[in-house]
Amino acid sequence: MEVAISRARAAGTFPAPNEPSAQQWVEIYRLMFLSRAIDDREILLKRQQKTFFQISAAGHEALQVGAALALKPGYDWFFPYYRDRALCLGLGVTPYDMMLQAVGAANDPASGGRQMPTHWSSRPLHIVSSSSSTATQLLHAVGCAEAGRYFSRHPEAAVKDPGDYREFHNVEFHGDEVVLATVGEGSTSQGEFWEALNTASNQKLPVIFMVEDNGYAISVPVEVNTPGGNISRLVANFPHFHFAEIDGNDPVASLRAFREAAAHCRAGRGPALVHGHCVRLYSHSLSDDDRLYRCAAEREADALCDPIARMRSRLIAEGILTAAEAAQLEHGLVHEAAEAAERALDAPLPTLESITAHVYSEDLDPTRAAFATEQPEFPAEEGGHRAAAHTMADLINSCLRDEMRHDERIVIYGEDVADASRKEALDEVKGKGGVFKLTAGLQTEFGAERVFNTPLAEANIVGRAVGYALRGMKPVVEIQFFDYIWPAMHQIHNELALLRWRSNGTWEAPAVVRVPIGGYLTGGAIYHSQSGESVFTHIPGLRVVFPSNALDANGLLRTAIRCDDPVLFLEHKRLYRETYGRALYPGPEFAIPFGRAKIVRPGSEITLVTYGALVPRALQAAQQAERLHAIDVEILDLRTLNPYDWDAIATSVRRTNRVIVAHEDMLSWGYGAEIAARIADELFDELDAPVRRIGAMDTFVAYQPKLEDAILPQPETILNAIVDLKRY
């Protein structure tokens, strides 16, 4: 990819004195004007139906150019939003790159024709791919800053290891880099804004938040979003912050404010928030018409604040340019934008074959044999005694411990996962280590920089993981209960799983999200019993794992951690300490590839496809079917739900000609619907009976055990289905 860093940027940073030289004034004006010229050209193209969407930076140019020139592209890190054209021009994105995205060209460097215009991304410049979701990027910026700090304190963690995901991630850090995250004033209403400020403040992270306050969020004026109408007043009490509230129509005020903010951050004193008041000169986007909701007088007043017109007058008044020189410069820039557009319109479009590229890592396939280090090395002895079988909880804990020893890039965090946040307590107490104790002892062994508690905010947990992972670290985070994953859903669906595809393979976030799931708890009730795995298997880019026993949990978690894709690792709470499925410790290298089902009971008459807590229940049912009805059932434990082992299902169904798909989650629109549909479609000729499904009733799980028993599938439910299906 071609990266043109503009002339003034070639030296790295914009020259330091607070008052720019004449040449610097002209450079600021050049960037501002060029940004507007590209916007205007794009609007023309959209009206000619040569492009498909347009959103402009008009009115924000001064604020953005000041920020760009105060920071160092390719050294600092940038999490912009869709209105940041002048910022990205100032960082070195070229007009041609922008036009390639506007037309959706194959070699649009930001997304290969996948994202709308102005959804920035450039790896060499450290501009991280942005989504359309407002404010999600702020948490990525926080995680990114945490990762930079971590590597500067643990430089040895940056070493590559050819055995896992680390082979494919170059780590870059300097120790004093800052992270810029930008946001509109309306989007400061998002919880993620406050969650980001919370952690940046608490951790004194070098993040500069730039609030671009144009007074409107589409049609909603600022006072509706922000009580009192001014975000600076609301955030003023966050500790460790440097705050600045500026006239965003003045590029020199902006440059000064961002230099001061960057100095505060680089010195390790904490984060900064620069609140710039600017104007939105055009409608929100070309799909909007602001005459529908703004008075004419207000729009005219904003037009008088146009930062480009003001800057032009200033240059002429100060004798830096004559009117003729300004006109000549502008003419050249309009021509530059037009020429970039013409070239982009001739660029090749993406091929249809390219659509499926970069959904998952193409470097490291977690189904491949390299992850089949099976043949566990069971020890004969442990701690001077004959080795004993361990629970699933124990073997997940030992996998986490072994992997943390093996890979210094792993950090573990979530709610209550630390042994004790107050370190002085650790001399006295045993430690918590998770509400289910899955992370017990890890903070004590690896320290509070690698194992720590977060604020009680699930989007914070997953959003930061995206930021950590895109810097090459391996966050292995915990959501305390599946029932509370929903605040993080936006981050999982629109960010974690999507980053690779939307950036056409330029960025990725291979984090692991561990989640206790499921019911059968006798009193777990509505909010501690939920299933819902099919909601996540419906997300391209996300691997979903659901082990049913201790050994599988250990081997699959190792693969989840070492692989290069984001993984949702579902752990059934009821199975954590069951007698069923205990196993000896399999050693620190035991791994199981994804996408390989296990035949937990061979049989010849009916195939029962299942996973999770239904595996032991299906086994009970199969034993009774054999004993009471002489029916021989084969049970397949899928172990991973995305990818899943279609070959194993097809092979078994071809032999038995009858199949049941059983899961704990609700029947309708559940995971089994997909498997059953595919069997009906591709194996129709093999079937002697309809495909049968088993799942929970289409309700939530009640507290009263009598109701819970009726709502969730029981061994008898499975047995009845087996007997019924054999009648065909």
Ligand X SMILES: Cc1ncc(C[n+]2csc(CCOP(=O)(O)OP(=O)(O)O)c2C)c(N)n1
Q: Please give the Cα distance from 571 to 392 (Å, whole number).
A: 9
- Nearest 5°: the CA angle 326, 328, 329 is 65
Closest separation between CB of residue 98 and ligand X, Å? Answer: 17
Closest separation between CB of residue 284 and ligand X, Å? Answer: 6
Residue number of the CB closest to ligand X reads: 184
Q: Binding to ligand X (CB under 6 A): which residues in 252-281?
A: 280
Q: 132 or 453: whose CB is closer to ligand X?
A: 132
Closest separation between CB of residue 46 and ligand X, Å? Answer: 17
- If contact means CB under 5 to 8 A according to the sort of partner, which of ligand X, Mg ion, none does residue 83 touch? ligand X
Does position 248 bind ligand X by CB under 6 A? Answer: no
Q: 9 or 60: whose CB is closer to ligand X?
A: 60
Q: 77 or 216: whose CB is closer to ligand X?
A: 216
Per CB under 6 A, the segment of 208-216, 421-429, 475-483, 515-523 that binds ligand X is 208-216
DSSP bridge partners of 608 = 635, 660
Per CB under 6 A, the segment of 98-106, 209-217, 464-472, 711-719 that binds ligand X is 209-217
The β-bridge relationship of strands 633-637 and 567-572 is unpaired
Q: 226 or 454: whose CB is closer to ligand X?
A: 226
Q: Binding to ligand X (CB under 6 A): which residues in 136-175?
A: none
* Relative orientation angle of helices 22-47 and 307-317, to the nearest 10 degrees: 150
**Looking at 61, 185, 495, 665, which residue binds ligand X (CB under 6 A)?**
185
- If contact means CB under 5 to 8 A according to the sort of partner, which of ligand X, Mg ion, none does residue 397 touch? none
Report the chain's terminal Cα–Cα distance, integer Å.
62
Under 8 Å between Cβ of 538 and 715: no
Q: Please give the Cα distance from 56 to 39 (Å, whole number).
A: 6
Does position 217 bind ligand X by CB under 6 A? Answer: yes
Q: 129 or 187: whose CB is closer to ligand X?
A: 187
Under 8 Å between Cβ of 412 and 404: yes
| Type of residue at 708 | E
Contacts of 612 (CB under 8 A, 6+ apart): 517, 518, 546, 547, 548, 570, 572, 575, 663, 664
Under 8 Å between Cβ of 660 and 721: yes
Contacts of 385 (CB under 8 A, 6+ apart): none
- If contact means CB under 5 to 8 A according to the sort of partner, which of Mg ion, ligand X, none does residue 692 touch? none
Does position 134 bind ligand X by CB under 6 A? Answer: yes
Binding map of Mg ion across residues 184-213, x = CB under 5 A, - = no contact: xxx---------------------------
| Type of residue at 60 | H
Q: 184 or 603: whose CB is closer to ligand X?
A: 184
Per CB under 6 A, the segment of 214-222, 253-261, 304-312, 707-715 that binds ligand X is 214-222
- If contact means CB under 5 to 8 A according to the sort of partner, which of ligand X, Mg ion, none does residue 187 touch? ligand X
Closest separation between CB of residue 37 and ligand X, Å? Answer: 20
Q: 259 or 280: whose CB is closer to ligand X?
A: 280
- If contact means CB under 5 to 8 A according to the sort of partner, which of Mg ion, ligand X, none does residue 559 touch? none
The β-bridge relationship of strands 410-414 and 512-517 is unpaired
Does position 133 bind ligand X by CB under 6 A? Answer: yes
* Greatest distance between any 2 Cα atoms in the chain: 99
The β-bridge relationship of strands 381-382 and 385-386 is antiparallel
Question: Measuring CA to CA, which residue among 490, 479, 612 is closest to residue 556?
Answer: 612
Residues marked active site are found at 528
Q: Please give the Cα distance from 249 to 303 (Å, whole number).
A: 11
In whole angstroms, how far apart are CA 165 and each of 360, 409, 562, 565, 641?
13, 11, 6, 9, 21
The position carrying tokens 């082979």 is 167
Does position 186 bind ligand X by CB under 6 A? Answer: yes
Does position 444 bind ligand X by CB under 6 A? Answer: no
Closest separation between CB of residue 628 and ligand X, Å? Answer: 55
Does position 214 bind ligand X by CB under 6 A? Answer: yes
Under 8 Å between Cβ of 530 and 483: yes
Closest separation between CB of residue 577 and Mg ion, Å? Answer: 51
Q: 281 or 497: whose CB is closer to Mg ion?
A: 281
Q: 184 or 271: whose CB is closer to Mg ion?
A: 184
| Type of residue at 414 | G
**Looking at 36, 46, 83, 358, which residue binds ligand X (CB under 6 A)?**
83
Instruction: Give the side-chain half-sphere CA count within 13 A for 548.
Output: 25
**Looking at 44, 116, 171, 218, which residue binds ligand X (CB under 6 A)?**
218
Does position 307 bind Mg ion by CB under 5 A? Answer: no
Q: 153 or 291: whose CB is closer to ligand X?
A: 291
**Looking at 61, 164, 212, 571, which residue binds ligand X (CB under 6 A)?**
212
Binding map of ligand X across residues 682-711, x = CB under 6 A, - = no contact: ------------------------------
The position carrying tokens 């595996």 is 615
Closest separation between CB of residue 301 and ligand X, Å? Answer: 17
Closest separation between CB of residue 185 and Mg ion, Å? Answer: 5
Binding map of Mg ion across residues 168-187, x = CB under 5 A, - = no contact: ----------------xxx-
Does position 184 bind ligand X by CB under 6 A? Answer: yes
Contacts of 295 (CB under 8 A, 6+ apart): none
Closest separation between CB of residue 5 and ligand X, Å? Answer: 26
Does position 78 bind ligand X by CB under 6 A? Answer: no
Helices (H) and strands (E) in the chain, counts: 24, 21
Q: Is 406 left (phi over 0), alpha (psi -120 to 50) or beta?
A: alpha
Per CB under 6 A, the segment of 130-138, 424-432, 506-514, 700-708 that binds ligand X is 130-138
In whole angstroms, how far apart are CA 490 and each of 1, 319, 462, 474, 487?
31, 52, 9, 20, 7
Q: 132 or 651: whose CB is closer to ligand X?
A: 132
Q: Please give the Cα distance from 370 to 706 (Å, whole number).
A: 47
Q: Please give the Cα distance from 471 to 127 (Å, whole number).
A: 12
How many of the other CB atoms lie within 10 Å of CB of 23? 12
In whole angstroms, how far apart are CA 477 and each of 239, 371, 420, 466?
26, 22, 17, 11
At 502, is the secondary structure helix, strand, or coil?
helix
**Looking at 54, 64, 130, 214, which residue binds Mg ion (CB under 5 A)?**
214
Closest separation between CB of residue 134 and ligand X, Å? Answer: 4
Q: Please give the Cα distance from 372 to 377 (Å, whole number).
A: 13
Q: 185 or 664: whose CB is closer to Mg ion?
A: 185
Return the structure tokens found at 704: 């009263």
What stretch of H or E contains 153?
helix 136-153
Q: 24 or 136: whose CB is closer to ligand X?
A: 136
**Percent helix, percent strand, percent coil in the chain, to nearest 5:** 45, 15, 45
Per CB under 6 A, the segment of 128-136, 299-307, 577-585, 686-694 that binds ligand X is 128-136
Does position 132 bind ligand X by CB under 6 A? Answer: yes
Q: Please give the Cα distance from 713 to 694 (Å, whole number).
A: 7
- If contact means CB under 5 to 8 A according to the sort of partner, which of Mg ion, ligand X, none does residue 134 touch? ligand X
Per CB under 6 A, the segment of 184-192, 291-299, 526-534, 542-550 that binds ligand X is 184-192
Closest separation between CB of residue 265 and ligand X, Å? Answer: 23
DSSP bridge partners of 207 = 179
Number of residues that bind ligand X (CB under 6 A): 15
**Looking at 35, 187, 361, 717, which residue binds ligand X (CB under 6 A)?**
187
Binding residues for Mg ion, per CB under 5 A? Answer: 184-186, 214, 217
Binding residues for ligand X, per CB under 6 A? Answer: 83, 132-134, 184-187, 212, 214, 216-218, 280, 284
